[in-house]
Amino acid sequence: MIGQLNISLEINQTFEGAKEDGIAEGEAKGMAKGRIEERAENIKNMIKFGMPIEDIAQIIGLEISEIEELNLKSTRV
């Protein structure tokens, strides 16, 4: 009986730990996605206000081709 309780307790603790890990991972992914979306929106606004793509690339730290690709995607929407 005590052995079964110990096993049950261990399973419950493992489940809770996995659940907490999953929540933390989900929060981290959500925050990362939000940062990416914010960065993309900033780039779109810089382009909209006429900032040269070369300057945006230096400021943001992306390749010019990546910014041009993002610009093409935003004009298709």
Rounded mean pLDDT of 24-43?
A: 88
Please return the burial class of 67, using the count of CB atoms within 10 Å of its CB with bins 0-12, 13-18 and 19+. buried
Taking the model in full, what pTM does it have?
A: 0.60
Give residue limits of the domains in the chain. Answer: 2-76
pLDDT computed for residue 64 by the predictor: 92
To the nearest 10 degrees (0 to 180), the angle between helices 53-60 and 64-76 is 110
pLDDT tens profile 1-25? 666 666 777 777 787 777 788 888 8
Q: What is the pLDDT of residue 14?
A: 82
Q: Are 25 and 8 in contact (CB under 8 A)?
A: no
**Residue 56: band (very low, low, confident or very high) from pLDDT cuts 50, 70, 90:** very high
